[in-house]
Amino acid sequence: MDVRPYIGRFAPSPSGHLHFGSLIAAVASYCDAKSNQGTWLVRIENLDPPREVKGSADDILRTLEGFGLFWDNAVQYQSQRHHLYDSALQKLKASGMTFGCACSRKDLASVGGLDFYPGTCRNGIPHEKEGKSVRFQVSKSNIENIKWNDLVQGNQNVLKSSLGDFILRRSDGYYAYHLAVVVDDADQGVTNIVRGADLMDSSPRHLLLQEALNLGSPLYAHIPLAYNIMKDKLSKLTNASPIQIEDAPNQIQDALKFLGQLDVEIDLPEKMLSQAIDQWDVSKIPKSSRTHWT
Ligand code: GLU
C-alpha cells in the first residue's frame, strides 16, 4: 500500500483573475490536503506566454492569501522548469513513443481532425513539410484500457483507441500542458490531484504519460464545475467576475456549499477554512456540474 505523505496542489494558469470556478478548485484541494495532514503546493502554470496576462500570477497569489489559502513551500513557476520537460520529452523520444508532426490547426480542421488526430504524420512527415510539433503516439503505450477510480466521479474506464495522438511540444516550441503537468506533479511528489471536471478528459492522457515515463500515478478527484446562467463554465473566457478579497467570507461560504460541505459560520477566512477542514468530507462533493448564481 502507498503510504507516501499526502501532497496536494493548486495549479492556476496566469491568464486572468481568480473567479468562483477557480475558488472552488482552490478550496477543495486545500481542504482535502489539510484534512489529510497534507502539504498544499501552489504552482503557477505559465507555460503559454502568448496567453499570459501581465500581473495575473501575482494577483492570483495575493487573492489566495486574502482568502486565507496559504501554501506550503515555495511557489513553483512552469516557466522555470523547461529543463525537466525537455528531459522527459527526450526520454519519450528515445523509447520511440513520439513523432514529429507538420499539421497546422488549419490542416487538421480541413479534415475534421481537431478533436481526434487523424494520424497524418504518424508514419512520416510529407516531404516539402517540416515536423515542428511533437506528438505522443498513443498506440505505442502498453495500456489498453485506462482505468482509475476518481474520488468524486467514481470508476472510470477509457479506451486508449478513443484518444488521438496528442501534442507534447507545440510548433511554436512551447511545451504542452499534458507533458508539463505530469512531469511537475511527479517531480513535486504530488499524491492527490483535486481539480475541475473540465480536466477529466485530460486525465487518461496523463495516466498514459505517467506509465510511459515510469512515474507513479496520483489519485484524482474531479470536482463539479460552476456554470453561469448561460450554462457556460465559469472561466476567464466567459468573463466570470473576479473574486474580491473584501467578499472572501461570503465566497468561501458559497464555495463550501457548492462542494456539498456542512455550513460554516461567517468569520475570518482562516477560521472558516479551519472549520471547513475539520468537517471536510470528500464523499459529500456532488458529481454534477451546475449553475452558480452570482
Ligand atoms: N493550469 C490548469 C488550469 O488553470 C489546471 C491544471 C491542473 O490542475 O491540472 O486550468
Q: Are 194 and 25 in contact (CB under 8 A)?
A: yes
pLDDT of residue 183: 98
CA 136 – CA 97 distance, rounded (Å): 6
Confidence label for 172 from pLDDT (cuts 50, 70 and 90): very high
Report how far ligand 1's centroid is from the alpha carbon of 255 (Å).
Answer: 18
> What DSSP character marks residue 95?
T
DSSP annotation string for 27-94: HHHHHHHHHTT-EEEEEE----GGGPPTTHHHHHHHHHHHTT-PPSSPPEEGGG-HHHHHHHHHHHHH
Could you tell me the pTM of the whole model?
A: 0.95
Domain 83-169 maps to which CATH number in 3.40.50.970, 3.90.800.10, 3.40.50.300, 3.40.50.720?
Answer: 3.90.800.10
pLDDT of residue 237: 65
pLDDT of residue 223: 97
- Which residues are within 8 A (CB) of 106 and not within 5 positions of it... i.e. 6 or more apart? none
For the CA of 15, the closest atom of ligand 1 is 4
In CATH, what class is 7-81+184-284?
Answer: alpha beta
Cell numbers placing 85: 520537460
Q: Is the CB of 43 under 6 A from ligand 1?
A: no
Q: Is the CB of 183 under 6 A from ligand 1?
A: no
Q: Are 38 and 192 in contact (CB under 8 A)?
A: yes
Residue 223 amino acid letter? I
Q: Are 19 and 241 in contact (CB under 8 A)?
A: yes
Confidence label for 130 from pLDDT (cuts 50, 70 and 90): confident
Q: What is the mean pLDDT of residues 128-145?
A: 93
Q: Residue 246 pairs with which residues in a beta bridge?
A: none
Helix (H) or strand (E) segment spanning residue 101? strand 98-101
pLDDT of residue 254: 96
Domain chopping of the chain, boundaries: 7-81+184-284, 83-169
pLDDT > 70? residue 144: yes
Residue closest via CA to ligand 1's atom 7 equals 11
Rounded to a whole number, what is the distance in angstroms from the first to the last CA of the chain?
43
Confidence label for 241 from pLDDT (cuts 50, 70 and 90): confident
Q: Write out pLDDT tens, residues 260-271.
A: 999 999 999 999
Q: What is the mean pLDDT of residues 263-286?
A: 98
Q: What is the mean pLDDT of residues 235-260?
A: 90
Q: Are 165 and 122 in contact (CB under 8 A)?
A: yes
Q: Are 46 and 58 in contact (CB under 8 A)?
A: no
Q: What is the mean pLDDT of residues 77-87?
A: 98
Q: What is the mean pLDDT of residues 39-48?
A: 97
Q: Is the CB of 184 under 6 A from ligand 1?
A: no
**Strand-strand pairing, 290-291 and 226-227:** parallel
Q: What is the mean pLDDT of residues 212-220?
A: 97
For the CA of 22, the closest atom of ligand 1 is 4
Residue 290 amino acid letter? R
**Mutate which of 17, 24, 45 to test ligand 1's pocket (most atoms within 8 Å of Cβ)?**
45
Q: Within the chain, what is the greatest distance between any pair of CA atoms?
A: 66
**Mutate which of 79, 81, 195 to test ligand 1's pocket (most atoms within 8 Å of Cβ)?**
195
pLDDT of residue 235: 72
CA 237 – CA 97 distance, rounded (Å): 34
